[in-house]
Structure formats: structure tokens, C-alpha cells
């Protein structure tokens, strides 16, 4: 009789223990530290907004409708930050790349502006879904055939007739790519701003400087490139000016 | 006493760590994703199961989801029309015509927003809308679900798919979403061309298709993505033959339907609509958000000569200033032949997508 009671008690414990386990297992939440690279587009001294109108040095009116670019192989010497970040001002805001980690591991960073030849011509469906190089994330930043990725895309409209009326009917399309136009960029002694579990490195992209850097882009005549034959000079200038326009904020 | 004890021990064994519900063991569903497609992101709270997909198929063709039991999703999304409606506007159960053309349901598992204006962010969310839309199926979900729950066959199906005997609209939406995610089209002639161009190995059967591709079809493909040709690829691109964006492709100078602008309230979005896929375009006439073009020739003529300028026109309609890309008769024919390579008979005729 005593044994029976023991068995019954044991049995009850066994019964309830399983249930308890199912219910009471604490929701484990991993609180990690994130590092972000952000890019704030500006026009000279003010924040730049898509679809807003700005005035160029030449007195043209200009609005940007899309600003997108790839920063690929972002790393601190041999420590990888991210395989690729994709900036898309309209749909993703100022975020370029966000990964788990600590800013102190990335006091220096180097990267490609564009996508380096090592991966530029791979099957864009073969990257993991989490990679910005996957065609689902690349979206319209990939040419459907061998040239590979579009490194940067700037689209907008301008009014190049400096008179009293503003009619933005002059289309601007810069689609730069191709291995020969790849640029590299590096940042040293990076200041990571820490708020809570988030550390952020902020860059600014000055579109006024993009148009009037060391070299000048005259949107009246230099309004379109798709990196095709005959457009080599403008394409390279677009890439070089863009690199110049991107600096720590 | 001993017997009692034995019975008790048996009882303990039987009930200790068993699953919550007897008989609820859904079978994981293996999606067949074409090798040149990216992986599909499945929502964590709606894993694909054989039972869920099958239930979704029943629901897609279920007229009980409408107010007068006359209309199902398939009424406006018919398989032979690439799961769209051959009518310019669909008429709901109250006899009222909608204002937009039904959309083809193809490869939706890779889409991030739904409807011509992108007002739904997930498939599960989208599916709830046509049922309660007064000019579509005009039925409340509680009534629709009580009709379904009154049917023992559906009760069993919901139980097998979701382990619940109190199925509600969220379960119905999940099941239909699972079904829609299986509707993958990736076996057209175009797919072989795409793979070839991207150096992806071809199987023996694809090799055979490859040798059947005509010079005009290749010519049309070249023209389609040529900047000085038809210039179509900026928006219809990649394995899905669509990019994820809202765009104004120059249909009107002033807008009667604000499209995306209606959702965001931002005038910079007026006249922009979801870029649709061009897969199976042969079957999904009429075309555009308002079904204004009844043939592909009309569409090609639009892009060639009749582009309308407006403040939000996409900069990538690059020859808008000249009214369009100015294709001549021969080039128009090439583009059309290319568009026909996007037909995927296996998709259109797949028995798994037809009425159960």
C-alpha cells in the first residue's frame, strides 16, 4: 500500500512536471548590441528630402526622386561588418547597414562603393535571403544579365531654364555600375554614438557636393548614364563625385 | 489495488508528455522553388503544411465566403486567365462594378505589398479584404466562418491544418495564403533564356526548350532591355519580371484614380501603381490597373507613342518627352513575341491550383 502511494505520488509529479516545463519555460530574450551605419542625405547645409526642390550652382531647379547605392564588403581589416549594405532613401530611410556587434570592433572600416568583381557576376538568387545582394533585396539594383549590380542610382527631375516658372520636366537618370567604375572608401578612428544597445556611425551624403565637387556635373547636358558604351566618362565622374560627397557626419 | 495501480501507471504513460491535441499532426509542405529564384520568406506564424495548402485551395474556390453563396475568389481570379479576370472590371455579388482590374496571382510569396496601390502589407492581411468588401463578396467573416464551421468536412480540415475546432477568419486567411504561396510560375521559355544569360546550368529538358527559342524571341528580349530600344527592363526585371516599386508609367496626364497617393496622402505618389509581373501576360488581359488595354498590341503602342506627361511620371520612362520609345512595326512584333515567352503552360494548367 505504501509503495502504491509512493508510485502514485511519483506518477503525479511526473505528470505535472512535463506540463510545467511546457508552460513555465521562460521566454529567453537575447538582448544584443547592434551597430548601425546611417547615411543622411543633405543639400549643402540642410537635410535633403526626396521630391523637394533645390537650386544648383548654375541656378537650375532640381529634385531627387531616388537615391540608392551599394556599399559592399564592409570590414575592419579581416573582421567583417557586413557582406553588403544597401541604401535606399525612399523605402529604407537613412539606414545603410545594421548588424549585431560592438562598435569597438570597428574603429576603422573599409568598403567598396558598388559591388566588387568577386561577387558582382554571381547568380543574384544564390545569396542568402538576409543578404542585400539577394535579388529580392537588390530589387531594381541588378541588371538582368552579366554586368551584375547597379552600384548607385540617382534619379530626379530638373528645370534647366532659369526663369521665373518652375517646370521640372528634364529627366535625370544616373545608373552607374561595371567593375571598372568600382570605388573604395575607408574611415578611420570612427566615433560610434551609443544610445542604449544601439551604436551608430553616421555619414552624410551631400548632393550639392555631388553635383559640384572637384568635378562638376552639369545636369543640363549630363543628365543620363546607364554605364553603356559612350557614357564611360560621365559614369566614372558620377562614381568619383559620389565618393567625395560621402563623409562622416 | 494492484489493478488500480497498473491502470494508473498506464494513464500516466499515456497522458504525461503527449501533444496537446490528438490527431493534429500537420505535414510540412515542401515548396518547389525554381533554382534561379531566391528562397521564399514564410511568416513564422504561418508555416506551410500540406493540410493548410489543401484547405486553402478549397477556400479559394468556396462560394460560401460570399454573401449570397455565389462568388469565390476564383470568380475574379480564374486559372485560365492567369488567376485574374478577363473582364475590365469585376462585378461583385450586388451587381456593382469595381473600379480596378483584377490582378494575376503569380509568385506572390515574393511580394512585399499587395493591390494596385499596395495597401495590404501581407497576404494574410490582404485575403481578409475581398470577403467583406461590399462591392466584391460582401459577407462578414463571422457569418462566412459560421457557414464553414457548420460543415463537418471543413471542421475536420481546419482541425487538421491548425489544430483548432474554433476556426476563425485568421485561420481561413492563413490557409488561403499558404495556397497562394504554392502558386509559383518559373517554367516558361523566358526562364530558360534568363538562366542561359546568367550562366545557370540548364537541365536536359531546358536544353531542349533552349534550342526551340527563335531568333525573334531573342531579338525581342534584347529590345526589351535595350536602352535605345523598348527600355522595359527598368521596371519589369529579374526572375519575377517585376521590381518592387510604385510607378507612374505615363497612362494619364491627370488622374481619376490616385493609386498609391490615395494610401499615403502624399501628392508625390499620385498616379503611381504597383509594378505588375509580366509573367503569363498572354493570359491576363485586359491590362493596367483599370484594364484599359484589351491587347498586348495596345500596351506596346502606349509605351511607343502615347505616353502622357505628369508631375509624377517615372524618370525611367525615359523617352516620355517624345511620347514614348517609338518602336516601329517590326520592333513591336519582336516585343510581343518576347512577351509571349513568359507564358508558363504548366502553371496555368497545374491541377494542384484548380478547383478541388
**Whole-angstrom Cα distance, residue B191 to residue B228?**
24
Q: How large is the ipTM?
A: 0.76
**Which residues, 6 or more positions from A249, have their beta carbon under 8 angstroms from its beta carbon?**
A40, A202, A203, A204
Mutate to test the interface with B, among A62, A140, A235 (most CBs of B within 10 A): A140
pTM of the model: 0.86
Q: Average pLDDT for residues A2-10, to the nearest whole number?
A: 56
Of the pLDDT bands very low, low, confident and very high (cuts 50, 70, 90), residue A230 is confident
pLDDT higher at B352 or A1: B352
Q: Average pLDDT for residues A129-137, to the nearest whole number?
A: 93
Asked if B110 lies within 8 A of A140 by C-beta distance, the reply is: no
DSSP-assigned beta bridge partners for residue B173: none
Closest Cα in chain B to A135? B38
**Whole-angstrom Cα distance, residue B336 to residue B271?**
26
Mean pLDDT of the residues in chain B: 93
Asked if B239 lies within 8 A of A135 by C-beta distance, the reply is: yes
CB atoms within 10 A of CB A241: 21
Which residues of chain B make contact with A144, given a CB cutoff of 8 A? Answer: 194, 197, 225, 233, 237-238
> How many CA atoms are closer than 13 Å to the CA of B50, on its beta-carbon side?
6
Which residues of chain A make contact with B107, given a CB cutoff of 8 A? Answer: none
Which residues of chain B make contact with A51, given a CB cutoff of 8 A? Answer: 268
Asked if A134 lies within 8 A of B38 by C-beta distance, the reply is: yes
Which positions 163-192 of A are in contact with B (Cβ < 8 Å)? 168-169, 171-173
The CA distance from B198 to the nearest CA of chain A, in Å, is 6
**Which residues, 6 or more positions from B340, have their beta carbon under 8 angstroms from its beta carbon?**
B282
**What angle is formed at CA B250 by the lines to CA B246 and CA B254, rounded to 5 degrees?**
95
Asked if B318 lies within 8 A of A157 by C-beta distance, the reply is: no
Residues of B with CB under 8 A from a CB of A: 1, 4-5, 8-9, 12, 15-17, 35-39, 41, 110, 194, 197-200, 225, 227, 233-235, 237-239, 243-245, 268, 309, 311, 315-316, 318, 320-321
Q: Average pLDDT for residues A168-172, to the nearest whole number?
A: 88
The CA distance from B86 to the nearest CA of chain A, in Å, is 29
DSSP-assigned beta bridge partners for residue A199: A35, A194
Whole-number pLDDT of residue A113? 98
Whole-number pLDDT of residue A229? 83
Which residues of chain A make contact with B309, given a CB cutoff of 8 A? Answer: 169
Write out residues in chain B with pLDDT < 70, as ranges. 1-22
Phi/psi class of residue B83: alpha, beta or left (left: φ > 0; alpha: ψ in -120 to 50)?
A: left
Which residues of chain A make contact with B235, given a CB cutoff of 8 A? Answer: 140
**Which residues, 6 or more positions from A154, have their beta carbon under 8 angstroms from its beta carbon?**
A64, A66, A67, A68, A172, A173, A174, A210, A238, A242
Which residues of chain B make contact with A91, given a CB cutoff of 8 A? Answer: 245
Chain-centroid distance, C-alpha B156: 28
Asked if B315 lies within 8 A of A155 by C-beta distance, the reply is: yes
Asked if B238 lies within 8 A of A124 by C-beta distance, the reply is: yes
Sequence spans of domains, chain A: 1-31, 34-248
**Whole-angstrom Cα distance, residue B202 to residue A168?**
47
**Whole-angstrom Cα distance, residue A245 to residue B293?**
45
**Cα–Cα nearest to A75, from A62, A66, A63, A84:** A84
Asked if B237 lies within 8 A of A142 by C-beta distance, the reply is: yes
Whole-number pLDDT of residue B2? 56
Q: Average pLDDT for residues A30-42, to the nearest whole number?
A: 89
Question: Taking the CA atoms of chain B, what radius of gyration do you get in angstroms?
Answer: 24
Asked if A140 lies within 8 A of B243 by C-beta distance, the reply is: yes
Mutate to test the interface with A, among B2, B7, B12, B241 (most CBs of A within 10 A): B12
Q: Does A145 touch chain B (CB under 8 A)?
A: yes
Q: Among A65, A129, A146, whose Cβ lies nearest the Cβ of B39?
A: A129
pLDDT of A21 > 50? The answer is no
- pLDDT tens by residue, B328-346: 999 999 999 999 999 999 9
Which positions 85-124 of A are in contact with B (Cβ < 8 Å)? 91, 123-124
Q: Does A157 touch chain B (CB under 8 A)?
A: yes
- pLDDT tens by residue, A175-197: 999 999 999 999 999 999 999 99
Which residues of chain A make contact with B41, given a CB cutoff of 8 A? Answer: 129, 136
Of the pLDDT bands very low, low, confident and very high (cuts 50, 70, 90), residue A20 is very low
Q: Does A135 touch chain B (CB under 8 A)?
A: yes
> Going from the N-terminus, what domains does chain B have, and what CATH number goes with each?
18-184 (1.10.760.10), 189-347 (1.10.760.10)
C-alpha cell recorded at residue A28: 529567453
Burial class (CB in 10 A: 0-12, 13-18, 19+), A188: exposed
DSSP-assigned beta bridge partners for residue A195: A198
Mutate to test the interface with A, among B39, B240, B243 (most CBs of A within 10 A): B39
**Whole-angstrom Cα distance, residue A42 to residue A205?**
6
- Is the peptide bond between B286 and the residue preceding it cis, with omega within 30 degrees of 0? yes
Q: Average pLDDT for residues A82-107, to the nearest whole number?
A: 95
Closest Cα in chain B to A52? B268
**Cα–Cα nearest to A51, from A175, A157, A172, A209:** A157
The CA distance from A8 to the nearest CA of chain B, in Å, is 7
- pLDDT tens by residue, B50-80: 999 999 999 999 999 999 999 999 999 999 9
C-alpha cell recorded at residue A92: 529604407
Amino acid at each position: 500500500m505504501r509503495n502504491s502511494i509512493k508510485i502514485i505520488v511519483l506518477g503525479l509529479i511526473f505528470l505535472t512536471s512535463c506540463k510545467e516545463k511546457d508552460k513555465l519555460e521562460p521566454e529567453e530574450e537575447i538582448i544584443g548590441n547592434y551597430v548601425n551605419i546611417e547615411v543622411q542625405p543633405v543639400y549643402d547645409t540642410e537635410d535633403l528630402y526626396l521630391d523637394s526642390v533645390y537650386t544648383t550652382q548654375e541656378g537650375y531647379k532640381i529634385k531627387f526622386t531616388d537615391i540608392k547605392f551599394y556599399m559592399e564588403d564592409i570590414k575592419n581589416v579581416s573582421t567583417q561588418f557586413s557582406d553588403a549594405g544597401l541604401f535606399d532613401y525612399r523605402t529604407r530611410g537613412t539606414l545603410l547597414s545594421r548588424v549585431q556587434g560592438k562598435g569597438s570592433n570597428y574603429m576603422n572600416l573599409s568598403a567598396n562603393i558598388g559591388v566588387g568583381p568577386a561577387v558582382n557576376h554571381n547568380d543574384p538568387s544564390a545569396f542568402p535571403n538576409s543578404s542585400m545582394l539577394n535579388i529580392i533585396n537588390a530589387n531594381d539594383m541588378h541588371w538582368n544579365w552579366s554586368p551584375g549590380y547597379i552600384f548607385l542610382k540617382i534619379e530626379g527631375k530638373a528645370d534647366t531654364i532659369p526663369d521665373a516658372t518652375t517646370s521640372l520636366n528634364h529627366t535625370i537618370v544616373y545608373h552607374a555600375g561595371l567593375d571598372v567604375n568600382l570605388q573604395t572608401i575607408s574611415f578611420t578612428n570612427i566615433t560610434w554614438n551609443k544610445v542604449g544597445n544601439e551604436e551608430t556611425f553616421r555619414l552624410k551624403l551631400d548632393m550639392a557636393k555631388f553635383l559640384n565637387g572637384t568635378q562638376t556635373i552639369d545636369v543640363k547636358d549630363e543628365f543620363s548614364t546607364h554605364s553603356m558604351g559612350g557614357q564611360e566618362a560621365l559614369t566614372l565622374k558620377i562614381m568619383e563625385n559620389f565618393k567625395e560627397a560621402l563623409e562622416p557626419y | 489495488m494492484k489493478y488500480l495501480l497498473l491502470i494508473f501507471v498506464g494513464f500516466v504513460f499515456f497522458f504525461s508528455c503527449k501533444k496537446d491535441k490528438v490527431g493534429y499532426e500537420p505535414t510540412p509542405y515542401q515548396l518547389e522553388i525554381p533554382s534561379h529564384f531566391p528562397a521564399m520568406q514564410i511568416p513564422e506564424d504561418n508555416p506551410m503544411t500540406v493540410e493548410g495548402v489543401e484547405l486553402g485551395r478549397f477556400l479559394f474556390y468556396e462560394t460560401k465566403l460570399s454573401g449570397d453563396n455565389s462568388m469565390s475568389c476564383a470568380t475574379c481570379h480564374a486559372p485560365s486567365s492567369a488567376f485574374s479576370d478577363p473582364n475590365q472590371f469585376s462585378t461583385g455579388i450586388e451587381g456593382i462594378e469595381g473600379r480596378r482590374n483584377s490582378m494575376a496571382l503569380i509568385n506572390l510569396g515574393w511580394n512585399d505589398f499587395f493591390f494596385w496601390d499596395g495597401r495590404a502589407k501581407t497576404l494574410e492581411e490582404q485575403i481578409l479584404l475581398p470577403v467583406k468588401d461590399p462591392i466584391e463578396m460582401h459577407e462578414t467573416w463571422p457569418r462566412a466562418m459560421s457557414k464553414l464551421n457548420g460543415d463537418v468536412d471543413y471542421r475536420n480540415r481546419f482541425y487538421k491544418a491548425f489544430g483548432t475546432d474554433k476556426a476563425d477568419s485568421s485561420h481561413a486567411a492563413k490557409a488561403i495564403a499558404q495556397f497562394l504561396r504554392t502558386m509559383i510560375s518559373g517554367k516558361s521559355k523566358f526562364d530558360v533564356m534568363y538562366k542561359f544569360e546568367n550562366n545557370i546550368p540548364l537541365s536536359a529538358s531546358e536544353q531542349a526548350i533552349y534550342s526551340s527559342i527563335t531568333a525573334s524571341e531573342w531579338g525581342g528580349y534584347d529590345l526589351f532591355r535595350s536602352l535605345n530600344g523598348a527600355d522595359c527592363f527598368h521596371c519589369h526585371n529579374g526572375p519575377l519580371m517585376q521590381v518592387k516599386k510604385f510607378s507612374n508609367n505615363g497612362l494619364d496626364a491627370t488622374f481619376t484614380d490616385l493609386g498609391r497617393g490615395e494610401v499615403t496622402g502624399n501628392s508625390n505618389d499620385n498616379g503611381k501603381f504597383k509594378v505588375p509581373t509580366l509573367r503569363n501576360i498572354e493570359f491576363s488581359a485586359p491590362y493596367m490597373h483599370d484594364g484599359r488595354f484589351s491587347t498586348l498590341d495596345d500596351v506596346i503602342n502606349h509605351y511607343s507613342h502615347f505616353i502622357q506627361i505628369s508631375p509624377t511620371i517615372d524618370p525611367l520612362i525615359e523617352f516620355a518627352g517624345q511620347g514614348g520609345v517609338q518602336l516601329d512595326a517590326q520592333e513591336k512584333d519582336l516585343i510581343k513575341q518576347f512577351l509571349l515567352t513568359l507564358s508558363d503552360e504548366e502553371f496555368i494548367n497545374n491541377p494542384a491550383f484548380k478547383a478541388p
